[in-house]
Amino acid sequence: MRRLFVALAATALVGVAPLGAFAQTAAGPAKPATVSTDRLSDAAIRQILAQRVDVDHQSRGMVVGVIDARGRRVIAHGLMGAGGKPVDGQTLFEIGSVTKALTSLLLADMVRRGEVRLEDPVADHLPPGTVVPTRNGKAITLIDLATHTSGLPRLPTNMAMKDPLNPYADYTEAQLDAFLRDYVLTRDIGGIYEYSNLGVGLLGRALAYRAGGDYETVLRQRVLTPLGMSDTAIVLSPAQAARFSSGHNAALEATTHWDLPSLAGAGALRSTADDLLKLTAAELGLVDTPLKAAMADQLVPRRPVGGGVEVALGWHVWSTPEGGIVTHSGGTMGFQSFVGFNRKTGLGVVVLSNTAGVMGVDDIGLHLMTGQPLKTPPKTRVAVPLAPAAFDKLVGRYAMAPGAVMTIRRDGERMLGQLTGQPTVELFAESPTTFFLKVVDAQLTFAVDAEGRGTAVTLHQNGQNTTAPRLAEGAEVPAPPRPAKVAALSVAELDALTGRYALAPGFVVTVTRKGQSLFAQLTGQPEFEVFPESATRVFWTVVPAAASFTLGPDGKAVSLTLHQGGRDMPAPRQP
């Protein structure tokens, strides 16, 4: 649902795919350009980091690593945490989905050793009795998992998180096995690309089982040690833990570190810029390594993604006149990462941030790789003083949506706004009729009559403009419209859909029944009635949104998927 004032975090790891999946760039470089020495100078990079950290406040600390004709360089700016040590090339960050590139390198190496084949069904390399879904007589293979074409969803739907801020921590292999046993594939295996943390997590588990160890041990023996990546790990030594940065949310508040015990291959690794430069140096062929042949195999494009992008084993590849640009990015609740390289130009770039800032870090990586423009930072707005009398003409209630009212009031010299069910926030004047918020990128414009009295207000947020007319004194809030056609469900069918569904860390959709009606409420938002289209799908009338439910063997919903704004956002049911 559209969230007014406080924007809902994207449930697509940023990452957080439903509950913290890992961010992945979907579009490639805009206009590749020849490598520019000026763009890649230490001074130019340092200026970018200072802008992003000190001016745009998108991170506490950032590190960039570059390999080019001048050798390896690390440029850092900012701190490990509020009042902490400066970040540098040896600071450890959660690297999220960049882990997938290393998991797939392990796959390529095991194929080279003759231990597995890309076409092997993954079930052949899992514990006896593990059931993996099939479709039309076809089994999910290792290459299907490595290229995100397995047909498995982004995340399993039975993630009943004890701690939404560490969503994967208590998800067990037994729960994973139960999900795989019961899940029915909704699309053909090996067909359409659909990014899946579950799929690559399962790949990591299968490879580790085939090699006879746990994921971290096998990866260290086969990949990390040969590459000299001694500071890349899941379990940190005391010395490494001392160099492990705090993670931060977009408000620069410290967040919980993530743990992924049963889906480690999808995003559990922590690493440093120095270590990731070792990886890129090997991928560029600048150093000799026993993994050279496996790396060459890994980089072969395998299946189309769309938009001129192909997926190799764990990497995404854009073909350009300047050579193939190979990248992967990642994000967790408190970190963002980017690794990219171009074998033709010999350029490699690493970008690490200890904050899940809304601007991300991919644009920095692609700017350094190709000359693509950097993202434009949020507009800097300056508050101007207004007389209390000017505020008072705008005070009142405004019908933002059926069932949702924005209340504007004055507290001394401060202007305050509150949307139904949300906290009160301060509004800052840019003019007598335009205001902005500091807690989120949103603005308000008031329409006034000849006497300067507010008649309506328009909220500008997330590219949308929502106008709310002023309510007369004592007027009732308009009721949400009722659709003409609604499916008639029994009480049992309605009850099967009720429950709490974790849409993102800290955001839960609560579905309840009142008589013959269903209601849904997102954390921090008003409750709205939803209307059944069928026994497994409902829709809202206050916003253009719908939700479809997946039912378990007992007929009760085990997850819902929110459909809004062209996105599908799965949410597993909580206990």
The one-digit pLDDT tens for each residue of the chain (575 residues) are 334 443 322 222 222 222 222 333 333 443 333 444 588 999 999 999 999 999 888 999 999 999 998 899 999 999 999 889 999 999 999 999 999 999 999 999 999 999 999 999 999 999 999 999 999 999 999 999 999 999 998 888 787 777 777 889 999 999 999 999 999 998 899 988 888 999 999 999 999 999 999 999 999 999 999 999 999 999 999 999 999 999 998 778 899 999 999 999 999 999 999 999 999 999 999 999 999 999 999 999 999 987 788 999 999 999 888 889 999 999 998 999 999 999 999 999 999 999 987 788 999 999 999 999 998 876 777 889 999 989 999 999 998 876 678 999 999 989 999 887 666 788 999 999 999 987 677 899 999 999 999 999 998 876 678 888 999 888 876 666 667 788 999 999 999 999 988 876 557 889 999 999 999 988 656 678 899 999 999 998 777 788 999 998 899 999 999 887 667 788 888 77
Question: From CA 59, how far away is CA 336, in angstroms rounded?
Answer: 10
Cβ atoms < 10 Å from Cβ of 121? 17
Q: Classify burial at 294, counting beta carbons within 10 Å of its beta carbon; exposed 0-12, middle 13-18, buried 19 or more.
A: buried
Sign of CA dihedral 183, 189, 195, 201: positive
In a domain, 16, yes or no: no
CATH number of the domain where residue 144 is located: 3.40.710.10
Specify whether 346 is located in the same domain as 446. Answer: no
Distance CA 103, CA 265 (A): 6
Do 408 and 315 have their domain in common? Answer: no
Closest CA to 194 of 16, 386, 17: 17
Measured distance CA(501)–CA(497) in Å, rounded: 10
Residue 1 lies in a domain: no
Judgement on whether residues 231 and 358 belong to the same structural domain of the protein? yes
Answer whether 506's CB lies under 8 Å from 164's CB. yes
Instruction: Give yes or no: residues 278 and 347 share one domain.
Output: yes
d(CA 305, CA 251): 33
Whether the Cβ atoms of residue 369 and residue 343 lie closer than 8 Å to each other: no
Please provide residue 343's backbone torsions phi and psi, each rounded to the nearest 5 degrees: -65, -30
Same domain, 347 and 426: no
161 within domain boundaries: no
pLDDT at position 3: 41
Which domain CATH number covers 464?
2.40.128.50
Q: How many structural domains compose the chain? A: 3
Residue 4 included in any domain: no
Q: Does 2 fall in a domain?
A: no
Are β-strands 404-411 and 414-419 bridged in parallel, bridged antiparallel, or unpaired? Answer: antiparallel
Q: Is 20 domain-assigned?
A: no
192 and 237 inside one domain:
yes
Strands 517-522 and 527-534, bridge-based pairing: antiparallel
For the record, the structure tokens of 381 come out as: 């707005």
The DSSP call for residue 8 is P
Q: Is 123 within a domain?
A: yes
Residues 223 and 317 in one domain: yes
- Whether residues 341 and 400 share a domain: the answer is no
Domain C-terminal end among 408, 434, 469: 469
Burial (CB < 10 A; 0-12, 13-18, 19+), residue 423, is exposed
Same domain, 354 and 397: no
Q: Domain range holding 532? A: 491-574
Residues 454 and 542 in one domain: no
Residues 522 and 405 in one domain: no
**343 within some domain:** yes
Distance from C-alpha of 120 to C-alpha of 105, rounded to nearest angstrom? 16
Q: Which uninterrupted H or E stretch holds 511?
A: strand 507-514
Residue 419's pLDDT is 81
Query: pTM of the full predicted structure?
Result: 0.70
Same domain for 259 and 330, yes or no, is yes
**Of the residues 370, 401, 424, the one at which a domain ends:** 370
Say if CB 436 and CB 421 are below 8 A apart.
Answer: no
